Amino acid sequence: MKNKSVIIIGAGVAGIEAANNIAENGYNVTLIEKENLLGGNLKNYAKLFPDFYEAGEVKNNLINKLNSENINVYNNNEITELFFENNKWQAVNSQNQKFLADAALLTTGFTVFDAKRKEELGYGIYDNVITSLEFENMYKTGKITTKQGNIPERIAFLNCVGSRDEKVGNHYCSRVCCINAVKQASEFKEIYPDSQAYCFYMDMRMAGQFYEELYRKSQEKHNVIYIRGRISEAAATLDNKIQIKSEDTLSGLPLKMTVDLLVLMVGIEASIGTNQLASQNEINGEYGFAKSKGLYGNDNITNKKGLFLAGTCKRPLTIPETIADAKAAANQIIKYLNQI
């Protein structure tokens, strides 16, 4: 009974957490990752909202548990096909190598919105327009500077880049960017208390535990200025600053401002792997995400027998939510393996 197996595609937070839980119960797990390093999108972050917990620690704790002899990890393996045949779930990588198992778990996660698609914001055109991921990277190295190496005296964060945006075809909210902007603005101000930070938003959605507190603190302690309005255009000035045009929708007035650094809070989109493998198995939902059977108690199973889902391949989720979801998926998979 115990030699039953499961393939997990994607070794990010959800994939690793689920692998550990399933292996602890004595089943064989094949964990497949397309990149060299494990950890998925978690690798891109320095500290996590809302408590500034070290992202590296979360990642290491997850990876350290992978020692179980029931888990085989294959990194640098991009799965291009996933299907059920001869009573087995079969995953095929780009070298045509096959992995077989009794069940499959999709933890292919998300990718961030390509900010170049919003050409008017100047990403990829002007040096000092960066994405929230690049900001994290700078924070990791401890050097938040302009491309020219100067300390930014004014920085602006723009929310909803690629989220809640009909024009780019993403109507949904990515859920994590608001609080991430609050976190990054606070981090910035911790390093440069004399600089000014602005945050442009449509709504500040502080719906998680301690989010509101962090938001309040960012205003009271760090004097981050929140402006309700989207940025319509950004352009570089002769001295490489970024001039932004917006509307302060609370005062109803147009607004023009020059900042040293503009950070685009890029939203969450389904990853290519999510999109591809979900469509192959006809479980593709809205916006390229994978679709579970139902939200209430069926959120980890799909219309395909033996195919399970966990994490951000379904929708934008925070890291604690992803971990919880992975545990739930593991539970479902164990039940399933017991039955067959």
Tell which one of 167, 194, 239, 295 touches another protein (CB under 8 A). 167
What is the C-alpha to C-alpha distance for residues 176 and 166, in angstroms, rounded to an integer?
19
**Span from 30-38, 47-55, 163-171, 291-299 in contact with another protein (CB under 8 A):** 163-171
Question: Are the CB atoms for 276 and 288 separated by under 8 Å?
Answer: no
Nearer to another protein, 126 or 139 (CB): 126
Contact between 120 and another protein by CB under 8 A: the answer reads yes
Q: How many CA atoms lie within 13 A of 318 on its CB side?
A: 16
Distance, CA of 236 to CA of 221 (rounded, Å):
31
Asked whether the beta carbons of 265 and 159 are under 8 A apart, the reply is yes
Cα 125 to the center of its chain, rounded Å: 24
Nearer to another protein, 117 or 291 (CB): 117
Whichever of 99 and 126 has its CB closer to another protein, that residue is 126
- Residues 230-259 within binding reach of another protein (CB under 8 A): 232-233, 235, 245
Identify whether the C-beta of residue 62 lies closer than 8 Å to the C-beta of residue 40: no
CB of residue 129 to another protein, shortest distance in Å: 10
Q: Which residues contact 231 (CB under 8 A, 6 or more apart)?
A: 121, 156, 158, 200, 244, 245, 246, 262
Contact between 119 and another protein per CB under 8 A: yes
Residue 166 or 194: the one with the smaller Cβ distance to another protein is 166
Among the listed ranges 40-48, 174-182, 227-235, 314-322, the one in contact with another protein (CB under 8 A) is: 227-235
Helix axes 13-24, 55-64, angle to 10 degrees: 30
Give the interface size with another protein as a residue count (CB under 8 A).
Answer: 14
Minimum gap (Å) between residue 264 Cβ and another protein: 14
Residue whose CB is less far from another protein, 51 or 120: 120
Q: Which stretch binds another protein (CB under 8 A): 3-11, 33-41, 118-126, 152-160?
A: 118-126
Among 88, 117, 291, 304, binds another protein (CB under 8 A): 117
Taking phi over 0 as left and psi of -120 to 50 as alpha, with beta for the rest, 76 belongs to: left
> Which member of 67, 69, 86, 166 binds another protein (CB under 8 A)?
166
* Cβ-based nearer residue to another protein, 232 or 279: 232
What is the amino acid identity at position 63?
A: I
Nearer to another protein, 90 or 243 (CB): 243
For residue 139, give Cα distances in angstroms to 41, 69, 169, 300.
16, 36, 31, 35
Residues 307-326 that bind another protein (CB under 8 A): none
Window contacting another protein (CB under 8 A); options: 36-44, 68-76, 116-124, 328-336: 116-124
Measured distance CA(59)–CA(75) in Å, rounded:
16
How many angstroms from the chain centroid is the CA of residue 221? 28
Neighbouring CB atoms inside 10 A of 311's CB total: 32
- For residues 82 to 101, the per-residue mask of contacts with another protein, x marking binding by CB under 8 A and - elsewhere, is --------------------
Task: Report yes or no: 214 and 184 within 8 Å, Cβ to Cβ.
Answer: no
Binding span for another protein by CB under 8 A among 31-39, 56-64, 119-127, 215-223: 119-127
Q: Is 272 in the site for another protein (CB under 8 A)?
A: no
Residue 11 CA to residue 239 CA, distance in Å, equals 43
| Choices 23-31, 121-129, 317-325, 326-334 (CB under 8 A): range interacting with another protein | 121-129
Question: Which of 40, 109, 122, 316 is in the footprint of another protein by CB under 8 A?
Answer: 122
* Integer Cα distance of 279 and 292 in angstroms: 13
- The residues binding another protein (CB under 8 A) are 117, 119-120, 122, 125-126, 166-169, 232-233, 235, 245
